[in-house]
Amino acid sequence: MRARAALARSGWLIAFAAAYFYVFPWFPAIRSANELPRVYLTRAMVAEHTFAIDTDARQYGTTGDMSPHAGHTYSNKSPGSSMLAAPAYAVTRALVGEPSIATAVWVCRVFAGIVPALGFLFLLWGYLARFAPDPAVRRLVLVAYGLGSLALTYAILFYSHQLSAVCIGSAWILAHDVVDRKRGLGAMAVAGVLAGCAPLADYQAAFAGIPVAIWVVVRLARWPRREALRVVAVAAAGAAVPVAILLGYHWAAFGSPLTTGYGLSETYAGIHAQGFLGMTWPHASALVGTTVTVDNGLFALSPWVLIAIPGTRTLWRGGERGTAVVGAAVGGFFLLFVASLAMWRAGWEIGPRYITVMLPFLLPAVTAQLVAWRARPNALAVACGAIVIGVAVYTLTLVTFPYWPAQPASSWPFPNPFYSVTLRLLGDGLCAPNVASGLGVGGLWGLVPFAALVGWLAGGAVVRVAGWRGLGVAAAIAVAVLGAYGLVPRGLAADHAYATVVRPAFEHP
């Protein structure tokens, strides 16, 4: 009975884990510029005790995301994800010998991506209870976030965006509990460490920590001074450790604690030299491309995020003003941040990946608004339709080719990649490697278990909140909106790019 009860409580998390582990979208032919430098760094630290990635760069080739310095080659990324994966890689290497690149990628993805992401979903489950005591609403929010957003793609690929979101999001949750006196000093120490780990994983995640730190200080101003200073000191000491590691890495690799690999990158040196670290002023075209276009826009690919706009007002009226302000500040800043980047179209991506870190801060607002809409079935059904759209876009892309070539249309002709890449691959019977294909079940039949998992998670979550009628309306809305996306022209250039770049990735593994 206890086992059955535990399964009933945690079945949703087990299903998430099964979905996250089911697909292994690995395409060596594309030479992923974001993943390979991180994998090379993990291997170099374990096998050669160095930050230089010369050996793998010579053997397997360089990418544009590498930086030369003092006769060596380095990854130009923040090193945190590679450092987190290193212990697991070391154990794997000790057990089976020198792993292949594919095995190394899998190990790195699991231990620096999937496992932290699943742990964060569990943490969110408890945290969101303060905004939605009803577990059905929380499950729906986690489906939207975990299956219908950037969080899914970058939990499974060995990028660092979701890892940094996990770090700063967890720091925020723990700090929130501490200032509410639900946890003690130990939790604040962990929050500080996690906050410092966020830029160690992804530099720009540091910006999300600023509103969080201000909020914590403002809340602690109500405490006795000595106690408040102790809490701040513990958090600062915790954050100082990973920050010191990051600065030490810069010093060892690039000769100065304040020099990053981006500053020494030859491929993108001109871009990063513009303004401050590649940031200038917000551009209207970048803001539009980041938010509403069907090839890259956050609100087009995950329209459920728009629920956070009325949700922020609902939070404010419900007394959660600090949470509302922090969410709005983080969300607003990152939208302007990406719109200010010279390289706002961040290469091969599914949506505007540089803003992945902001999504956890919007979830309280989304949760509060869904609770408010429980009394308005039509509004709730529309919200569920927006969630289903995000789930369809991100899960279908994950099981095909989660590397949409997203350069400006003038140089890379994919104005409608959901149709010209994702759906076209499915139409051609092509999908990413997965558990079933590893067992010899080829083609789209191998995706049936994954589809069943996603259908059970997403469909079940909608039914629990909005009923079967709500599920029908949500599905109809999703079909209509995604069908309308098909009206966006794809063009002959997209056909050529599909035939010369995307399709060969499946034919030459």
Model confidence pLDDT, tens digit, residues 239-282: 999 999 999 999 999 999 999 888 787 766 556 555 555 567 78
What pLDDT score was predicted for residue 409? 39
What pLDDT score was predicted for residue 3? 55
Cα–Cα distance, 328 to 11 (Å, whole number): 32
The secondary structure element, H or E, covering residue 72 is: strand 72-75
Give the pTM.
Answer: 0.95
Cα angle 42, 78, 206 (rounded to 5 degrees) comes to 145
Residue 59: is it exposed, middle or buried by C-beta count within 10 angstroms (0-12/13-18/19+)?
exposed
Whether 152 maps to a domain, the answer reads no
> What sign results for the dihedral spanned by CA atoms 159, 163, 165, 168?
negative
Amino acid at 164: S
What pLDDT score was predicted for residue 354? 92
What pLDDT score was predicted for residue 39? 98
What pLDDT score was predicted for residue 277? 56
Which range of residues forms the domain containing residue 380?
376-502
What pairs with residue 276 in β-bridges?
279
What pairs with residue 101 in β-bridges?
none
Q: SS3 for 318-374, per residue?
A: CCCHHHHHHHHHHHHHHHHHHHCECCCCCCECCCCHHHHHHHHHHHHHHHHHHHHHH
| Nearest Cα to Cα of residue 169 among 136, 201, 134 | 201
Cα distances from 102 to residues 32, 98, 407, in angstroms, run: 12, 11, 26
Tokens representing 271 are: 């871009």
The secondary structure element, H or E, covering residue 198 is: helix 185-201
Cα–Cα distance, 201 to 478 (Å, whole number): 35
Buried b (16+ CB within 10 A) or exposed e, 130-168: bbbeeebbbbbbbbbbbbbbbbbbbbbbbbbbbbbbbbb
Cα–Cα distance, 313 to 324 (Å, whole number): 8
How would you write the pLDDT of the chain (509 residues) with one tens digit per residue? 555 555 556 788 999 999 999 999 999 999 998 999 999 999 999 999 999 999 999 999 988 889 999 999 999 999 999 999 999 999 999 999 999 999 999 999 999 999 999 999 999 999 999 999 999 999 999 999 999 999 999 999 999 999 999 999 999 999 999 999 999 999 999 999 999 999 999 999 999 999 999 999 999 999 999 999 999 999 999 999 999 999 999 999 999 999 988 878 776 655 655 555 556 778 888 899 899 999 999 999 999 999 999 999 999 999 999 999 999 999 999 999 988 887 777 778 899 999 999 999 999 999 999 999 999 999 999 999 999 999 999 999 999 999 987 554 345 568 899 999 999 999 999 999 999 999 999 899 999 999 999 999 999 999 999 999 999 999 999 999 999 999 998 877 888 889 888 999 998 65
Cα–Cα distance, 265 to 74 (Å, whole number): 9
Those residues with Cβ within 8 angstroms of residue 282's Cβ, 6 or more apart along the chain or in another chain:
336, 339, 340
Whether 480 maps to a domain, the answer reads yes
Whether 325 maps to a domain, the answer reads no
Residue 442 three-state SS: coil
Cα–Cα distance, 194 to 385 (Å, whole number): 34
Cα distances from 368 to residues 117, 300, 349, in angstroms, run: 23, 22, 30
Q: Report the chain's terminal Cα–Cα distance, integer Å.
A: 47
Q: Do residues 195 and 235 make contact, with C-beta atoms less than 8 angstroms apart?
A: yes
Whether 368 maps to a domain, the answer reads no
What pLDDT score was predicted for residue 254? 95
Whether 464 maps to a domain, the answer reads yes
Q: Do residues 79 and 65 make contact, with C-beta atoms less than 8 angstroms apart?
A: no
Tokens representing 129 are: 């209870």
What pLDDT score was predicted for residue 281? 76
By DSSP bridging, strand 66-69 and strand 72-75 are: antiparallel
Cα–Cα distance, 339 to 289 (Å, whole number): 9
Domain count, the chain: 1
pLDDT digit string (tens) for 479-504?
Answer: 999 999 999 988 778 888 898 889 99
Whether 300 maps to a domain, the answer reads no
Cα–Cα distance, 423 to 406 (Å, whole number): 16
Whether 384 maps to a domain, the answer reads yes
Those residues with Cβ within 8 angstroms of residue 11's Cβ, 6 or more apart along the chain or in another chain:
none
